[in-house]
Amino acid sequence: MLTFDFQKRTSKILRRLRILGTLYSDKNNTFCFNLYLIYTIVVNIYYNLHNIAQAANIFYHYDDLDELTSSGLLTIMETLTNVKAYYVVTNKSRILKINNMVQKWSFQPKNSRQEEMAKYTFKIFDVMSLLHTLGPTLTVVFFGCYPIAEMKTNKKLPFSAWYPYDYKISPLFEITYFHQLSSSLIMAHIHINSDCLAYNLIAIIIVQLDFLADNLKNVNNNIKSNLGNFEKERNIAFLDCVKHHKDILSCFNEVYKILNINLLGQFVVSTTSLCLTSLQLSTVNPTSTHFMALMVYELAVLVQLLMFCWWGNELIFKSQQIPQAAFESDWIEASIPFKKSIMFFIQQTQKPLTLYAVDFFTISLTSFAL
């Protein structure tokens, strides 16, 4: 039997989240756990000091539209980063449960064709993850670079924030500058890896739907028995498909519980950020590096929304193929009980697997276009 290590792909993302102080260590060693807990607290305090400074700037400059939009723009996105980190931590057991579930026999490819299907889907995942990584990272780099052009005339920080000291005095300026950039990079990569974890879990379900559709279409071809028990073997093969579908539904329900509220927060925050960015773009010199930084930020947010909608759309499309695949199986010469089983299965799989933002709207390319 062929094997595909779905668990390894998820574990890589979880490892990066642990490094960023987002996911509690699952080691049984008490000393390691306590050491990691201290590390997590220090990392969270470090980057949240930047969040607090930006939030304070909103209150100190509530009557200044430029400062308000500049601080509010990133503050709401950084708040979402904390929410995502919280949901990763609180859903740790559910994430690990899914990671163990995908190693079941039913989730493994049954032939080289199915193995190629998995490789193709995850090749797309790798490209999209790279694009998603570049967006937030380049945003931080551009925001870090544009004040350098004005450094000779005016010491300006990458992000508008309020501090209880004169940050323009050296070395406080350099320390504050470094703290803003490093904190923003940490939060950007928490954001990236939290999203990649979501994309990865959805991609696993999509691959399983491909496997299931292929098994249903070739339910007769997959039977190797030549001993006159063909009908019995076919029933067993179809029963394996039904069990596989049940496992996919169980995995999808766990993923949906993790992403349900997160998706609503993502869309609300992202659309608000896009509006604030458009407002700020209208007040910035279009030939300045600050304008370029804002454009990169806006593109990064659009790409992030597009990816959620693209994977959600793929999930709907692939799950719609399951009843069609069952119908395309060679059932014409089968027994009446087998035909009834196929009919019942087709009826039960009519409703596609769909991601919703707390049941408000569907996560699909149609939602993105609207």
Indicate whether 327 belongs to any domain.
yes
Average pLDDT, the chain: 82
Residue 125: inside a domain: yes
pLDDT of 278 over the 90 cut: no
Q: Which residue has the higher pLDDT, 86 or 154?
A: 86
| Higher-confidence position of 2 and 109 | 109
Alpha carbon distance 335, 333 (integer Å): 7
Average pLDDT over residues 302-322: 89
Rounded to two decimals, the pTM is 0.87
List, for residues 330-347, the tens digit of each pLDDT value: 777 777 888 888 898 888
Domain that holds residue 76: 6-369
Q: What is the pLDDT of residue 331?
A: 77
Residue 188 CB-density burial (10 A; 0-12 exposed, 13-18 middle, 19+ buried)? buried
Six token digits for residue 255: 């993923």
Is 1 inside any structural domain?
Answer: no
Contact between 162 and 53 under an 8 Å Cβ cutoff? The reply is yes
How high is the pLDDT of residue 69?
67
* Residue 64 domain flag: yes
Q: Could you tell me if residue 38 is inside a domain?
A: yes
Amino acid code (one letter) for 85:
A
Q: Is the pLDDT of residue 43 over 70?
A: yes
pLDDT at 206 over 90: yes
Structural domain count of the chain:
1
In a domain? residue 233:
yes
pLDDT at 113: 87
As a whole number of angstroms, the distance between CA 315 and CA 312 comes to 5
